[in-house]
Structure 1
């Protein structure tokens, strides 16, 4: 009986699948469509919809990878026309990775992705044309935030009726977590990203800021920061093509309007996506990236339709140009292995700009009904279109020459774990060695006065480098800088890089002295040390003449002397990761 029963069930399921594939689009309506574009799916509804799509369409696979801070696993939907889902086997195809609901109060991409996957699966001709493209979708990246629904936290946004919250289960903004990786979400995303190695990445958002006519704006990987042929390709071919195609669909686009408290008719500067952000992170691995930013004051229905159009055009672009993109990425990876100089901080070039047509609204000031003081407003009855300056050129503000390798002491396991998670080759040393290395000392830095995503971020970091003979202990790690991910290595391990591990407080212990002195005890030691070291006394007297405040501060003078003595600990302000400028004998 059992042997007959199982085939019968399978036959019934097969018939059911065939019938389901014949269903009309109307019968597969999403919540967005059923509510005429006023509501977005909940996390549970969205996953259930994808599970149903995958059940009836073998070209779609829904899987879970890793976990998130809220306890649920991270879902990944893969659409592959030939039903090949193995990460290694799809590397010969063009891969698009779409990330939704990193800010769940901005759900446009969630609903757009559900409808787009459904429409492709039900259009057999379109599906067959994508034999060389794989579409990967993270439906809900911030699951904790998606489940924390409300109707009030997006005070500046028009619809939907209810939505998720920006903070995740740790109350982190996950679009600031791509380097520090404080969340389980990010650790799972890293696995997905490196397993897929996507050619194009899109992170879907809704904007804040100024008012203007556009439904869709976009933040592209900053082209100069992306660099080389890949950066030129994005600026001169990919983005112009996307703008043209979107315009043909009725959605004129402009770069993300990074303007607050004014009308952007005098021009604006391109947003710089440092590695803490999704598109800045993906840049470190030579992936072309966009952050879509639909406009907050446009209806949810229109915003979602614009997001659908953007994702749709991105898929078509890869279908037609994917081989060229993959070849450019491969060429760039090889170039990065050989690259000698690496920028670690950027600044806008205010002497260069592109003139663009901008569609805005006239603005002005009127008396506030609340404060009775002048307030900004935009007059939607007075649209304008004018040429403005768009400052989209960036130059390196700080650069470093790459070393042969970095040495990481065994005590900094979190750093080692993050490097390995990001597919960086890390080798452990089994025998102690003495080598010549460059050692950084933190000369100066500033720290944010308020907490920023669970950290007090350092910035304006200045360093001094000193050559030293150092001991590499058994158990320490060496990271050679000859990898396709050299940019990630350099920008995380150089302490004065904008989003370095040092900037994110991974090494704050070196900023605090562990041993000190009692002034009344050290007075006698200091006097004796000055007798034995007249050059230190000479330096002390010179400093007293130059600095009256120092001359009047007895304790400061003791500190000055203390730092010249062997009593002063070597670890204070000494950055623990060392640079090997040349290949050592033991390698």
Structure 2
């Protein structure tokens, strides 16, 4: 070999080595227990964008912090138009920093994208990877070393609440934050086939560094749910095992020993993977264990993303096909489960790598306190409760009608990709309507709301007049699950649950008893059926019989004077 060629090879190798060194992440340049700041994270992805044509960094929408959300996309085809990308390739969306005190995914994804761009990870031909580098920017800017009191590193980190102190992993459907609304815009634009939201766990102690929440297969439903549960998730965990990474489903236990078993987490729509499932996107939350060292946690997060890419690459066509076909399970006239209850009569067992737990006197109260002895590891089979049963189901209607006056709800429907058709003329329609009966309301604030639960409703079929501009929402569209979960008031995370319709719960017009007394006598005299029902109620209800005010109010509510909008749920179901 000529000297000139040898020199050229040496120079080229040195330049490549120098370039790789220049692309070391803040995590890699630290001591293994440090995480990048927000500014360092965005600067790093800007550097990747500048150096590699396969990577694009884009600003996407506002957050409560005042800083914009970004997406970073890796596509070996150098195509970054999402309308084109999703036609031929599967899309993986990765979300990081939803809880910035859990920054494992932030550091792991910086290395992951670099390794994709440099070829250290085999370049996928069938997958495009999209990353939100930091979702909770306000929380990441609120950097401290104390708020994650139970966590083993890193040295400093962000805060769980966002700039307005919202937990963003409870905001995916109520969307009180600009973060959540921008996320919805990104999600609908990207239309991911697979979703990963990187986290760190709280709770019990055990041997695993890596645990995970996977979208509940019953919530996903159909062949897609079965594929996710029996094929994809087991394959991902088997691949991690080949890398000597043990895994277990998220240990849904707090302040108790897991020896007695635990249930699979039901990810309702308020959570990121629950939101993704509304659009038939399979999703997971890696939950690295809080007590394991930071370097190890970042490492297993990286490896899970690498295993996911490898699996999606081989199964991209199948995943996209199953997503499309899952819509066939959501036709008008079919049943749709809204609320679920754990079925404790059905159990399985899983192998579990734990530490022996016991109780000893508390140094504070003297009362028994839980502790784990890490010098006593064990492996044994423990119960695992995975099966749920639906406790509230609805029949899917052909469409819903939402009056235009409910613009806050209409805005969210639009943000989330739902197609709404305004009525072109004043129109009379035969609809099914709901009247709200009993319900419970939280006594404590929860994420800026006092949510409702245990709702009881009455239904009736009636003809109603709707105005030009009111909205007709056909259920036969890709967002049908979102439509059902949000517009059916009994849904766990419906708009009703989150207080969007509370104004109908308050009566606006009343009566003065001394005036209404004489009119009430006339109402009973002129309406024999009302009179008969009134006497029956007095005979069977002692408290009612002894309360003149309750009797007047009852008569008022049976009369034409009582406002029909009170307790009338202002969303209507169209069956034909």
Do they superpose with TM above 0.5? Answer: yes
1:471-502 per-position Cα deviation (integer Å, ceiling 9, x unaligned): 01111000011112211111111111111111
**Maintained 8 Å contact 1:149/1:165:** yes
1:151-195 per-position Cα deviation (integer Å, ceiling 9, x unaligned): 111111111111111111111111111111111111111111111
Match of 2:8 in 1: none
Match of 1:3 in 2: none
* Alignment length (residue pairs): 564
Matches within 5 A, 1:238-249: 238-249=232-243
Match of 2:64 in 1: 69
**Maintained 8 Å contact 2:211/2:288:** yes
**Maintained 8 Å contact 1:336/1:483:** no
Q: 1:334 & 1:193 partners in 2: Cα distance?
A: 22
Q: CA deviation at 1:131?
A: 2.3
2:43 is equivalent to residue 40 of structure 1: no
Matches within 5 A, 1:43-192: 43-91=38-86, 92-123=88-119, 126-127=121-122, 129-192=123-186
**Maintained 8 Å contact 2:332/2:397:** no
**Maintained 8 Å contact 2:33/2:155:** yes
- Compared CA separation, residues 389 and 432, structure 1 to 2 (3 A): same
Q: What secondary structure is seen at the aligned counterpart in 2 of 1:23?
A: helix
**Maintained 8 Å contact 2:339/2:492:** yes
Q: CA deviation at 1:417?
A: 1.5
- Compared CA separation, residues 475 and 21, structure 1 to 2 (3 A): farther
1:269 to 263, 284, 298: 263
Q: 2:18 & 2:183 partners in 1: Cα distance?
A: 34
Match of 2:543 in 1: 549
Q: What secondary structure is seen at the aligned counterpart in 1 of 2:62?
A: coil
- Compared CA separation, residues 296 and 256, structure 1 to 2 (3 A): same
Match of 1:570 in 2: 564
Match of 1:491 in 2: 485
Worse-superposed segment, 243-252 or 42-51 = 243-252
2:449 is equivalent to residue 455 of structure 1: yes
Q: 1:64 & 1:36 partners in 2: Cα distance?
A: 31
1:363-383 per-position Cα deviation (integer Å, ceiling 9, x unaligned): 111100011111111111111
2:375 is equivalent to residue 381 of structure 1: yes
Question: Which runs of 5 or more residues in structure 1 are unaligned?
Answer: 1-16, 583-587
Match of 2:201 in 1: 207
Matches within 5 A, 1:363-382: 363-382=357-376
Matches within 5 A, 1:303-452: 303-337=297-331, 340-452=334-446
**Maintained 8 Å contact 1:334/1:484:** no
1:181-226 per-position Cα deviation (integer Å, ceiling 9, x unaligned): 1111111111111111111100011111111111111000001110
- Compared CA separation, residues 397 and 494, structure 1 to 2 (3 A): same
- Compared CA separation, residues 29 and 196, structure 1 to 2 (3 A): same
Question: Which runs of 5 or more residues in structure 2 are unaligned?
Answer: 1-11
Q: What secondary structure is seen at the aligned counterpart in 1 of 2:417?
A: coil
Q: What secondary structure is seen at the aligned counterpart in 2 of 1:301?
A: helix
Q: 1:307 & 1:37 partners in 2: Cα distance?
A: 14
Q: CA deviation at 1:338?
A: 6.3
- Compared CA separation, residues 389 and 243, structure 1 to 2 (3 A): same
TM-score by length of 2: 0.95
Match of 1:198 in 2: 192
2:512 is equivalent to residue 518 of structure 1: yes
1:533 to 524, 527, 535: 527
Q: What secondary structure is seen at the aligned counterpart in 1 of 2:83?
A: coil
**Maintained 8 Å contact 1:65/1:192:** yes
1:390-413 per-position Cα deviation (integer Å, ceiling 9, x unaligned): 111122221111111111001011
- Compared CA separation, residues 337 and 20, structure 1 to 2 (3 A): farther
**Maintained 8 Å contact 1:285/1:487:** yes
Q: CA deviation at 1:88?
A: 1.5
Match of 2:467 in 1: 473
